[in-house]
Amino acid sequence: MVATTQSLEQLCINSIRFLAIDAVEKASSGHPGLPMGAAPMAFVLWDKFLRFNPKNPHWFNRDRFVLSAGHGCMLQYALLYLTGYDSVSLDDIKQFRQWESKTPGHPENFMTEGVEVTTGPLGQGISNAVGLAVAEAHLAARFNKPDCNLVDHYTYAIASDGDLMEGVSNEACSLAGHLGLGKLIVLYDDNHISIDGETELAFTEDRMKRYEALGWHTQFIEDGNTDLEGLEKAIANAKAVTDKPSIIGVRTIIGFGSPNKANSHDVHGAALGKDEVSATRQELGWEYGEFEVPEDALNHFRKAVDRGAQSEQEWNQVFEQYKSKYPEDANNFQQLISGQLPAGWEDALPKYTPDDKADATRNQSGAVLNALSPVLPGLLGGSADLAPSNKTYVKSSGDFQKGAYENRNFRFGVREHGMGAVCNAIALHNSGLIPYGATFLIFTDYMRGALRLSALSRAGVIWVMTHDSIALGEDGPTHQPIEQVASLRAIPNLAVFRPADGNETSGAYKVAVERAANNPGAPTLLCLSRQKLPNLAGSSIENAAKGGYVLSDSEGTPELILIGTGGEVELCVNAAEQLRQEGKKVRVVSLPSWELFEAQDEAYKESVLPKAVTKRVAVEAGTTFGWCRYVGSEGAVIGIDRFGASSPGGVALKNFGFTTENVLATAKNVLG
């Protein structure tokens, strides 16, 4: 296969290959196989179809590209460099997988401009792509006019066998098929190899048939290594199908070009080794040295700069026309994609007094969503088939469906993990959309992969999780959270909120919306009750937003501090009342969010939980794991460290010790 002269296309494709090979070799770490095998499809996509401006990675109307097979990230880094992004230089490529480099081991949107979402964990990227396409469809439906296609871009993904095996991708792709997302195009790198070896070992389903069943348009390219024309036709075909998402199965040889390692799992995730690198250079007739890119290839790739500038300029003109014809819409559009929250939006947050009826915080959450939707045009979301239980339906809008993409209520189906990845991507579309996704708190277990990524990739998502403790009752231990709140608190960069009443719920949303609208964004997760809770004297939006505050106090230095969250604050309030009647100086602290509280300054924290006051009782209907932080060695925690039980919620709370009596008894024990 030694070619004495290579076509320009081959020069370009091999440039991608060898940047990947050399970078992985230098790092002695990484995945060369996919970049080598998928270089042709990626080249055709980036060269002939993808619309982007290398000098403006944030251009609103750019096509979105996702490398779902994130381990193959050298493929993406090579393309970012070659096409002229400032975010990836040749030096950056030489620093592949090194401390603080712009080219980390899997694509990180927060490290490298041009990377839209963070991938690596398989199945996430392709599911993100569904979310990016959802965002485009929604914005197009809201803003486009018959004579003006303001919002008009495609979402492309390159996915691997592993992506297709993962359950999350079936969830998201089933949803995509149902929604008829016609501007989503997935290139499936069908190389028949995964870490264990041949995919024959475990993955023999008919992939294209499954995707047809999911409502996708499918095509197959037999020779994805050399049939560039076929690839081009297929992508063009896919673009022409406007009522279904498209998947193109592309048969490739992993590690194409490596004479001894191609088509084996050895080339998947390890450097080729010095000898094989040489052998590959020889095999592909590549005379260029380490990290050397032939001038012709680089010049060709760099045409993307002018092309991109022109694309963006053309779009700016479209926007100018739009603005002159539809000034109000244009203003709304600009306001939305700016990401700035409308002035005074928080005035819409419901406020409560103790005279307001007791209510479940899940209901109060629903009230917030319905109150905010009119004033926050970017707010939209839905539930994984639990809208009536999560109370997430916004009555002023309809269902987001094919032909009705302008609506703001999503019906995710029983697909928590898919919902998670889709919501992450709606946020990372970076157009001012603030997505919320909801299910039962227990089923955060089903979507932790996506929850973690929302925190890591700084996605401004609001996670609305109801039925937050054993108090949910009869559904029993499979549904009653025990360890969920603690285990979510342990995720860095995720703020967990467990509000005690209506004001705290509004406060949680104030924080969540602000975090989502920040740049970069950050996710917030709300834990909401099924059962009714009273509105507490002393609660307020401002207090809740601090994450922890003094709800009530005695005169002077407290002898004892009762700390509660969510539904258990009420027990603390009741116990404190009795203790005060007995002459004790008791403070009640509500601690709806550890993360927000810890972010306050030391003086504030000391004022709420003075170090000198060591007699403390914490009460939370969940695991005691981690509470030692706030109660120390002289305190006590009322929690539950075993699985729950099926019974009416009140019976469960009582039998597991969540009663005023038990708080009193524990408090007296601590007081000594």
Catalytic machinery residues: 416
Should residue 453 be labelled a site residue for its own copies when binding is judged by CB under 8 A? yes
Candidate residues 12, 42, 337, 486; the one interacting with its own copies per rule CB under 8 A:
486
Of the ranges 60-68, 175-183, 229-237, 248-256, which one interacts with its own copies (CB under 8 A)? 175-183
Residue whose CB is less far from its own copies, 285 or 476: 476
User: 295-325 and 327-338 helices cross at what angle (nearest 10)?
Assistant: 130
489 marked among binding-site residues: no
Q: If binding is defined by CB under 8 A, does position 374 make contact with its own copies?
A: no
Number of helices (H), then strands (E), belonging to the chain: the values are: 25, 20
**Residue 137 φ/ψ, nearest 5 degrees:** -60, -40
Where in 624-643 is the site for its own copies (CB under 8 A)? 625-626, 628-629, 632-633, 641-643
Cβ neighbours for 489, distance < 8 A, ≥ 6 positions apart: 496, 594, 595, 626
The overall longest dimension of the chain from CA atoms, in Å, is 96
CA 489 to CA 499: how far, in whole Å? 14
Give the strands of the sheet with 586-590, arranged side by side.
549-552, 586-590, 560-564, 616-619, 636-638
- Is residue 184 involved in binding its own copies (CB under 8 A)? no
Which residue's CB is nearer to its own copies, number 568 or number 595? 595
Q: How many chain residues touch its own copies (CB under 8 A)?
A: 110
* Residue 475 within binding range of its own copies, rule CB under 8 A: yes
C-alpha angle with apex 531: 529 to 536, nearest 5 degrees?
A: 80
Which residue, 204 or 324, is less far from its own copies as judged by CB? 204
Per CB under 8 A, does 255 bind its own copies?
A: no
Q: According to the binding rule CB under 8 A, does residue 414 interact with its own copies? A: yes
Considering only 32, 72, 104, 294, the residue that binds its own copies (CB under 8 A) is 104
Interaction between residue 109 and its own copies (CB under 8 A): no
CB under 8 A: which stretch of 134-142, 357-365, 451-459, 528-536 binds its own copies?
A: 451-459
- Please pick, from the candidates 88, 456, 500, 511, the single residue that binds its own copies as defined by CB under 8 A: 456
What DSSP designation does 470 have? G
User: What is the Cα–Cα distance from 72 to 159, expressed in whole angstroms?
Assistant: 10
387 binds its own copies (CB under 8 A): yes
Instruction: Find, among 313, 237, 286, 285, the residue nearest to 49 by Cα.
Output: 237
Q: Determine if 403 is a binding residue for its own copies (CB under 8 A).
A: no
| 16's tokens | 């991608």
* Residue 648 contacts residue 509 (beta carbons within 8 Å): no
- Of these, 57, 215, 378, 558, which contacts its own copies (CB under 8 A)? 215
Write down the least CB distance from residue 187 to its own copies, Å: 18
One of 442, 500, 562, 576 touching its own copies (CB under 8 A) = 442
Please identify, using beta-carbon distances, which residue of 302 and 654 lies nearer to its own copies.
654
Residues 6+ apart with CB under 8 A from 474: 646, 647, 648, 649
Structure-token pair, residue 642: 């075993």
Q: Give the integer Cα–Cα distance in Å for 155 and 233.
A: 17
Among 65, 188, 322, 446, binds its own copies (CB under 8 A): 446
- CA 391 from chain centre, in angstroms, equals 22
CB closer to its own copies out of 46 and 446: 446
**The one among 430, 552, 623, 666 contacting its own copies by CB under 8 A:** 623
Q: What CA–CA distance (Å, rounded) separates 132 from 135?
A: 5
Site for its own copies, residues 547 to 586, rule: CB under 8 A: none
Select from 354, 297, 280, 257 the least CA-distant residue to 78. Answer: 297
424 annotated among ligand-binding-site residues: no
Q: Which is nearer to its own copies, 314 or 474 (CB)?
A: 474
**For its own copies, which is the closer residue by CB, 181 or 304?**
181
Q: Return d(Cα 199, Cα 556) in angstroms, integer.
A: 70
**In DSSP terms, which residues pair with 550 in a beta bridge?**
589
For tokens 């959309």, the residue is: 433
- Smallest CA-to-CA distance from 136 within 155, 158, 156, 117 is with 155
Query: Contacting its own copies (CB under 8 A), which of 348, 375, 651, 665?
Result: 651
Residue 606 lies near its own copies (rule: CB under 8 A): no
Position 122 contacts its own copies (CB under 8 A): yes
In angstroms, how far is CA 30 from the centroid of its own chain?
Answer: 24
Which residues in 259-288 contact its own copies (CB under 8 A)? 265
Give 47 or 163: the residue with its C-beta nearer to its own copies: 163
Question: 193 labelled as ligand-binding?
Answer: yes
The DSSP annotation for 123-187 comes to THHHHHHHHHHHHHHHHHHHH-BTTB--S---EEEEE-HHHHHSHHHHHHHHHHHHHT-TTEEEE
Which one of 164-172, 253-261, 371-379, 569-577 is the stretch in contact with its own copies (CB under 8 A)? 164-172
Cis bond upstream, residue 520 (ω within 30): yes
Binding residues among 187-206 for its own copies as defined by CB under 8 A: 194-196, 199, 201-206
Binding region for its own copies (CB under 8 A) out of 36-44, 104-112, 301-309, 366-374:
104-112
417 is in an annotated binding site: no
548 is in an annotated binding site: no
Using the contact rule CB under 8 A, the part of the chain among 24-32, 49-57, 424-432, 461-469 near its own copies is 24-32
Tell whether 491 is in a known binding site. Answer: no
Cβ 533 to its own copies, closest distance in Å?
Answer: 20
> Nearest CA to 667 among 632, 618, 623?
618
Q: Is 429 marked within a binding site? A: no
Distance, C-alpha 517 to centroid of its chain: 14
| 50 marked as part of a ligand binding site | no
Question: What is each CA distance from 255 to 7, 270, 438, 585, in whole angstroms?
Answer: 20, 11, 41, 72
Site membership for its own copies, residue 411 (CB under 8 A): yes
Residue 443 lies near its own copies (rule: CB under 8 A): yes
| Candidate residues 6, 10, 83, 101; the one interacting with its own copies per rule CB under 8 A | 101
Phi, psi at 77, each rounded to 5°: -60, -40
265 annotated to a ligand binding site: no
> What single-letter amino acid sits at 225?
N
The answer to whether 325 contacts its own copies (rule: CB under 8 A) is no
**Euclidean distance between CA atoms 204 and 227, whole angstroms:** 25
For position 389 contacting its own copies by CB under 8 A, the verdict is yes
Does residue 404 belong to the site contacting its own copies (CB under 8 A)? no
Binding site membership: which residues?
A: 31, 71, 120-122, 161-162, 191, 193, 268, 362, 389, 443, 467, 475, 479, 530
Binding site membership for substrate: which residues?
A: 31, 268, 362, 389, 467, 475, 479, 530
